[in-house]
Amino acid sequence: MRRAPLALTASTAALLLLVGCTTSSEGDLAVDPGAAASEEAEAPEAALDPTDPACLIGDWRITQEALQGFYDGVSGSTEGLAFTVEGDTGLSFTADSYVYTPAFTLLLDIASVQGQAVTTGSIGGGWVGAEGVITTTVRDNSLSTIVTIAGVTQDASSQLGAIIASDPISNAPFDCSDPDAPVLQFDIGGGARTPVELTPVG
């Protein structure tokens, strides 16, 4: 009878030892993932280069609001001329080609005489970019500008094409600080430019 406490003590010690080993093993498993995670260093993100022309590759849309800013700049240098834009424009870049596809109507106010100009077609060709500036080479130009003023309609592509829908991105500085909203400096004539933001298609 006196040995029972010894047997109980030995059994209890063995049980405690077993529990202690199990707890230690589970504790090691709980610590390992944290230790492994702390050892993994996150790869730093590459610094964005706002002058890298690769950011322009893709399909973009120039919204009505952005176009209005452009044509306000165009008309600002001509007294008595005002444009109101209805519609937008597409602009797409591949690695070595581009296409600019205006499809909008301009409401005209020329010295208080109202009219409208409907521009369709496209202009495109090759392009290269370096040091934050793109240079284009026009290869295809099918732009058409039909103007109606005081009930008289005429094809004014040759007369107004250079003003309304020429190639405003030639030799254009650009900024890709926001790769989802690149900004091109559109040519508004006379050596002046105005910023136009691009919006991704889709």
Would you say residue 48 lies in a domain?
no
C-alpha distances in Å from residue 177, one per residue of 91, 181, 186: 19, 8, 17
Domain holding 79, by residue range, is 53-200
Per the confidence metrics, is the pTM higher than 0.85? no
Residues of the chain with pLDDT under 50: 1-29, 31, 35-36, 38-39
Whether 159 and 100 share a structural domain: yes
- Cα–Cα dist 147/156, whole Å: 6
pLDDT for 152 equals 93
Say what the pLDDT of residue 200 is.
Answer: 97
Overall domain count for the chain: 2
Same domain assignment for residues 125 and 60: yes
Distance CA 61, CA 87 (A): 11
Q: Which amino acid is at 38?
A: S
Q: Mark whether 73 and 127 lie in a shared domain.
A: yes
